[in-house]
Structure 1
Amino acid sequence: MDDINNADINANDISIDLVLNVFKNYSDKKKAKDIKSSVYTLICPDDLLANPEIDEAVDRILREDKKLGDESWLTYSKGYYSKRKREAPPTDAPMQISEYTGRGGECAVMSELLFHNYNVNRMMIDEGVDLVAVKDNIYYYIQVKTVAMREGKINAQINIENFDKFIGNQMRYVIVARCKDKDGHKNIFFTFTQQEISKGIYDRYVKRGERTVSIKIKFHERSGEPIMYDEKETSAKWNMNRFEL
C-alpha cells in the first residue's frame, strides 16, 4: 500500500464510520482531543504533523451526531464520548474505513465498466476524479464514493468544491454501497450524471449543504425499490446497477 502523507488527506472523506472505529468497545471513553488523535493515527500512522482540517472535520461530525439525540451513534457525558449501543441487523455494522475500502470501490467500478466495454484507468493523483473511462471515443470522468449501508439506507457525500468544479464536464458519480447478503458481502452501484444530481438539488430530493452534496437512498419496505430522498422523494431505480455512462 502506498504511504499516506499529510497532503494526501481529504478531510471531507472523514465520516462517522471512521470516528466509530477509534472506540475499541462500548465501555471505551474518549475526549474529543483523543478522538481526533486516534482518527489521525488511523489514516496517517507515519505522519506526526498536525492537521487543523482533520480536527475541524472531527468537531463537525461530533456536533452533527449530537443533534441526532437518541438516534446518535455516540453518547456524551462529563466531557467523554462513548459508542451508543444500538439494535441493528448484522448487515448494518459500520464498515472499516481505510485506504483499502476506497481503492476496493474504485476497482469494483473499474471491473464493471470493463465488462461493459469501457477502456478505464485510475488517475494517479486525486484531484476530484478517480477514474477516466472511454467508449466510442467519448471520455468520462468518474468519482467513486464507497459507503456502508446502515439500517437499509445509503448516505454518500460529495465535496462541494469538487462538485462545482466539474459542472459542464462528462462527470459521473458512482456510489458503491457495501452490504451483506446471505452468501457474504455484495456491492450495490448507483450511477449519476452531474445533471441528474443538480436536478435533484433543485427538486429537493438531494441536499446541497455548505460543504457537501448529500445523496441519500433508502429501499421501499415492500417492493425493494431504491428511493432518493431529502425533503422530497423520487425513484432511483434507473440509477441502480447501471453502467451505461
Structure 2
Amino acid sequence: MSGAAAGLVLAETEDGATTLWLNRPERGNALGPELVEALDAALDAALAAGARLIILRGSGRNFCTGLDLSDLDAVSDGDLALRMIRIELLLQKVSGLPVPSMAIAGGRVFGAGADLFAACDQRLALAGSSFAFPGPAFGLVLGTGRLAGLVGDATARRLLLAGAPVEAAEALSLGLASALLEADALSAAIAAARRAALRLDAPTVAALHGRTRRADDAADLAALARSVARPGLRQRVQDYRARSAAGRAPRTNIGGSA
C-alpha cells in the first residue's frame, strides 16, 4: 500500500473476523483511487492473516457515497474510465472472496457504495440508511449483474432506471439488504456470522460462491467498458451534477461521489 493510501482503511480483527473500515468520513467514504487501492490491499492482508469472515463498514455517518469525483475538472475521460473499471474489479474481488463477507451500512449507500454493499454475502442495513444507483443517469453501467442476482432483473432495471433513493425497509423487502437492524443489535449479528464462518473452510466457501453466483464478471466488465468508452464521459457527469443541482435532487455527492 502506498504512503498516500495508508490510513484510508482501518482493520480490526477479533476471533477470526476482520472488520475493514472505510476511513474517509469527510468525503462520505467516497471511492477515490487511493481508497480503492487501500481496500484492495486490506482485503489481501486480511486473507493472508487467516481471516474467516470479512466485514466492511464506513467511518462516520455514511457507509459509502459512491465514486469520488472531487477532482473531476482535472481528470481526462480516459482516467475517469480507468477509475471506474478499477472499482468494478474491486467489486468482483469482494464478490468472489474465499471467505464469507458482510457489509454493515448506515447513512447514505449510493452509487459504487451501493454496489460494494451488494457484492457482500450478508448485507445489514442500519435503521435510517438509504440506497441508490444513480450511475445510469450519466451513462454508467456498473455492477448490474450482481444487483440483478439479488433482486431480480425487473426490480434491478427499475432501481437503475429510476436512480432515486430507497429507504432501508424497502431495500430489505427487495432483497438488496439481507437484514434491517438497529445499532444495538449489531453485536449479536456479528457474533452469529463469526460462529457460522468458523465452521467453513475457504475451499468450501469458494465452491459455494461459484455455484450460487449468477453474475457474469466478464460480461459486467464488458458492459462497463462499453459505457465508459462512449465519448464525453466527463461531460456526462458534469451535466448530471448540473441537473441535480438545478432540480434540488437528492444529492449523491457526485463530484462529491456517485
Structure 2 length-normalised TM = 0.24
Structure whose residues are more often helix by fraction:
2
Structure whose residues are more often strand by fraction:
1
Higher relative contact order (CA 8 A, sep 6+): 2
